[in-house]
Structure 1
Amino acid sequence: MNFFRSLNLTPTNYEPETIEKDMRAFMNVIKNDDVEGINFNGIKALNNSDVATAINMIATDIAGLKITTVDGSDDDLLELLNIKPNKYMTGYALKYSIISNMILCGNAYVEIIRNKLGRAIRLEFLSNDNVKVKIAKDENYITRIFYEVKRNKGDDYREVSSEDMMHFKTLSIDGIVGRSPLKSLNIDLNIDNYSKKLLDNFFKNGTHTGGILTAKGESLSKEEKDIVRAEWQKQNAGLGKSSQVIVLDEDFEYKKLEVDTEIIKLVNSNNNSKIAVAQVLGIPLHKMGLSTSNMDLAQLNQDYLISTLKQYLDIILSELHKLDSNKTIKFDFNVDEYKNLDPKILNETVKTQHELGLISVDEGREKLGYKPLKNDVGDKHITNLNFVNSKIVDEYQMNKSNLKGGENNDNRA
């Protein structure tokens, strides 16, 4: 009954049904329709700035890396992967889409269009909404995996074999379908969402918090309360009205609710969302601006390459063998930019590799950012005269041993 006394209402004037009705109306006013929170799955997760920052960081860093072949051949496939996979996408956009969809949805799909010889001539990126993973199995084992695909909304589904579909997946517990790592962040992201809403409302109302507007001497229906509340907000809420004078007649009384400013400070300085996102995606905290490190730039980038990027690079490389159905091609990512950050060290490394005959002139020029010569000079490997083949060394030692043995025999004679 204290609630009615605070509103200057007399409970004895109410019939039980009237009291219950008024309480229901009151609960309708204070309830939070968003109390269950937002399900941060798929594209919704990009509403969180920390998630968007982390995904963009990983996707852009990987999209900028060139895919190569181990033996330096298959230029047509490298052009598909790095330059123009189809008519409407660039190689950069394709790799960016693959990584962002893997993190957001757990899966990314690229259909392979082949020529008559079974070699890829076009790569078509497919939205997660337009792909269904299907499994055929007997009593004990899976016999076939295939995909039902439609290009546009409203189209009929068509079947695509697993051999013609590059299916990139992360956090897969069955090896068939992936799972977004962001699903484990739902509570953390909702806490961050509520915190930002609190700050937004606090500053949107000119740093005024909520209040209690009491109607004296009479009971208002739910509809009347809604009208009074809306009119009050219209007249007094907002940043531009934060310093104006409030004028009330004798039928109303307003009491301001106070909020501890320490709560605002705590919310404003909260980094739990950033830390949680960094941990789940394997991003070093220094990349999210949360800490400093004693390592130099080369070590920091090496750490980022190994702890963050490598897992996604390996997932992509594991599917590229499908590009040619007749032979196995070994692909790799060129990650030199994360290894060679000091120009002096890079020059010394290339010089040593060239002098040892490990790389040609053109390969060395390419590492240093120069155009290859593309002639006999550029293709040649040099050999240091101080080094010889191990077989020649063995023959030399053997001949030397035989020579000494002959001299000893002559002396005995």
Structure 2
Amino acid sequence: MEFRWYNPRTWGFFGYTDPTTGDYVEVDMEIGGKRTKSGVTVTTKTALSISMVWSCVKILSESLSGLPLKLFDDSADGRKLVSGDDRSLKLLRKPNPYMTMLNFLKFVVVNMALRGNAFALIERNRNGEPIGLVPLDCNTVTIDTDEDMIYWVTPKDGDRFPVSPENMLHFKLFSLDGVVGLSPIEYQAETMGLAKAGQQWSSRFMRKGGFTGGYVIYENFLTKAQQAQVMEKFPDVRKGDVDDIGKMAILQGNPKIVPAGLSQRDAQFIESQQFQEEALAGIYGVPLWLANRAGKTSIMGSNLEQQLIGFITFGLKPYIDVVEDELNDKIYRKYSRFVEFTVEGLQRADSAGRATLFAAALGGSGGSGWMSINEVRRKENLPPLDGPEYDRVTRWEMPTNVKD
């Protein structure tokens, strides 16, 4: 497999590992960013430095990438799972020589969650069959819709080249024009900037030992000599470090020290931070308890199950639908095949929940089942059992009275 434009040195996503020295080199992915009213410039790095944004993006990317991605053949006899050494399965396991599908899906979700778009070049052989998926930095891709839609890719070390839509995977959640996805960082910059400003203010507050600054007021005007004497004796706390806390100054002339600004308590800092975390969690559709913020959320009993279902339905499923739709449209559209995530993979850690589900599916407690024993074993990655009775679905029928 040849990758003409796949060069880890050209990536602008957080950084890259220098293949010569083995050292990690951080790359400034975005220049400028968006300036907010809180005074913070929000970029991808700035957003990820906010703990709630990091938690939400991490949960979404790891949850989706950990789901089994299955390939099915939609034949006349119904859908059948494609298995064995099929060439299409190799692409789903290893989309390129540098990534597994797990890491590729993480790349897709992280870029969608932060930038609203994720791009990957489809490499095809001479027969037009897809043989590789090359992730692209969003900053290197532009979309031209003047006539026919075309993607222009501009590598850092190379000439710009066009890519037709059928050879470009473009993942996006939602957009205004149906072409370019909306960036959460752009449209929610004020919310993220306020959270980052609060984080920075808290750090400076702790660094200064809780001192917010103030004024030294004298009853009378000071002469220049007195002013110089005061500035020499009085330490400038604003420039002081934690090591300066506890130092004393001796002042003469009956001065009064008046603090300036608001304390964290007066500014309701904790409440403000909690509100920002709730707002950010709402942007990404991630429940607070998943991000380890369970102070206002009950996670006892069936409530946890319902919240998990809500997260899958409203938080994770939009990403699942986008990935499935784009892969099926660009890669498997010409074939009678399609890919689908197995959402039940999120229940792997819940043995009791899986046991209850499969018991009902097999027709337990005298009910009518909808799965056979071998179907359940396949879902649990177990080999099938020999015998027709293991492929039979339990049916329950209402007994009828027979008149003599």
Q: With structure 2 as the length reference, what TM-score do the two structures score?
A: 0.72
Pairing partner for 2:311 from 294, 298, 304: 304
Distance 1:100 1:79, change over 3 A: same
Pairing partner for 2:268 from 266, 269, 282: 266
Partner of 2:362: 351
Mapping 1:105-184, distance limit 5 Å:
105-137=115-147, 144-150=148-154, 152-184=155-187
- The more displaced of 158-167 and 280-289 is 280-289
Cα separation, 2, equivalents of 1:384 and 1:194 = 61
Q: Tell me, yes or no, if the aligned pair for 2:324 and 2:339 is still in contact at 8 Å.
A: yes
Distance 1:37 1:178, change over 3 A: same
Cα separation, 1, equivalents of 2:103 and 2:145 = 30
Cα separation, 2, equivalents of 1:325 and 1:346 = 34
Pairing partner for 1:73 from 82, 88, 110: 82
Partner of 1:7: none
The residue type paired with residue 307 of structure 1 is: F
Pairing partner for 1:316 from 323, 326, 343: 323
Partner of 1:46: 48
Partner of 1:218: 224
Cα separation, 2, equivalents of 1:165 and 1:208 = 55
The residue type paired with residue 59 of structure 1 is: S
Q: Give 1:275 deviation, angstroms.
A: 1.3
Deviations 1:43-64 (A, max 9, x none): 4321222111111111111111
Contiguous gaps of at least 5 residues in structure 1: 1-32, 138-143, 388-399, 405-413
Q: Give 1:42 deviation, angstroms.
A: 3.3
Cα separation, 1, equivalents of 2:389 and 2:120 = 36
Cα separation, 1, equivalents of 2:305 and 2:36 = 46
Match status 1:86 vs 2:96: yes
Distance 1:148 1:184, change over 3 A: closer
Aligned alpha-carbon RMSD (Å): 3.7
Cα separation, 2, equivalents of 1:84 and 1:377 = 35
Q: Give 1:205 deviation, angstroms.
A: 1.3
Cα separation, 1, equivalents of 2:267 and 2:136 = 44
Q: Give 1:149 deviation, angstroms.
A: 1.4
The residue type paired with residue 140 of structure 2 is: N
Q: Tell me, yes or no, if the aligned pair for 2:213 and 2:237 is still in contact at 8 Å.
A: no
Partner of 1:198: 201
Cα separation, 1, equivalents of 2:389 and 2:323 = 31
Q: Give 1:278 deviation, angstroms.
A: 1.8
Paired positions, count: 339
Cα separation, 1, equivalents of 2:170 and 2:389 = 38
Cα separation, 1, equivalents of 2:327 and 2:173 = 16
Match status 1:292 vs 2:286: no
Mapping 1:246-285, distance limit 5 Å:
246-247=249-250, 255-261=257-263, 263=265, 266-270=268-272, 271-285=274-288
Q: Tell me, yes or no, if the aligned pair for 1:64 and 1:92 is still in contact at 8 Å.
A: yes
What percent identity do the matched residue pairs reach? 24
Partner of 2:337: 329
Q: With structure 1 as the length reference, what TM-score do the two structures score?
A: 0.70
Q: SS of 1:125's equivalent?
A: strand
Q: Give 1:233 deviation, angstroms.
A: 4.2
Cα separation, 1, equivalents of 2:394 and 2:189 = 61
Q: Tell me, yes or no, if the aligned pair for 1:357 and 1:382 is still in contact at 8 Å.
A: no
Distance 1:297 1:234, change over 3 A: closer
Deviations 1:251-276 (A, max 9, x none): x9683525554635711332121111
Distance 1:379 1:67, change over 3 A: farther
